Amino acid sequence: MNDSSTSRLDMLHFARRIAVQQVEQIDRWIATEERREAEHRHGEQARPPAPDWLIEVGLGGRDPVYVHIGGCHMAGKRSRGVDRDQALRAVTEGIDACPHCRPDTELRVLD
């Protein structure tokens, strides 16, 4: 299967073109991944800080059911960030403190 019209030099040039195309493809993949990582880092840096206090509302979306310390693993998706005064007011007005993170202790509220 040796074609005498194709020289060894022609085959080497062809193999080089293929290798260059593959390296260029890898370079594009690297650039894409570097861009993704840079976007991820930017997103992490631009993310607002986690709130110090959370109020979790019930299924109806209106009535508060728990007060949490920010970052509590038990805080549900229906939680919103509040400041310390709002959290303190909620606990003193009878909203339950999360039994896991104990915001009442952190807020120094005694029963």
Structural domain range at position 8: 1-47
Give the model's confidence band at 99: pLDDT under 50 very low, under 70 low, under 90 confident, else very high.
Answer: very high
In this structure, the answer to whether residues 40 and 80 fall within a common structural domain is no
In this structure, the answer to whether residues 28 and 66 fall within a common structural domain is no
Q: Indicate the number of domains in the chain.
A: 2
Residue pLDDT, tens place only, 24-52: 999 999 999 999 999 999 999 998 888 99
| End-to-end CA, the chain | 93
Boundary-marking domain end, from 31, 47, 63: 47
Residue pLDDT, tens place only, 8-27: 999 999 999 999 999 999 99
The reported pLDDT for the residue numbered 1 is 47
Rounded CA gap, 68 and 22, in Å?
A: 54
In this structure, the answer to whether residues 30 and 68 fall within a common structural domain is no
Looking at residue 90, the DSSP 8-state letter turns out to be H
Does any domain span residue 2?
yes
Residue pLDDT, tens place only, 55-79: 999 888 788 999 999 989 999 889 9
Does any domain span residue 111?
no
Which residues neighbour 81 within 8 Å (Cβ) at sequence distance 6 or greater?
50, 51, 52, 53, 54, 70
- pTM equals 0.61
The β-bridge relationship of strands 96-97 and 64-69 is parallel
Which of 28, 97, 29, 84 has the alpha carbon at shortest distance from 52? 84
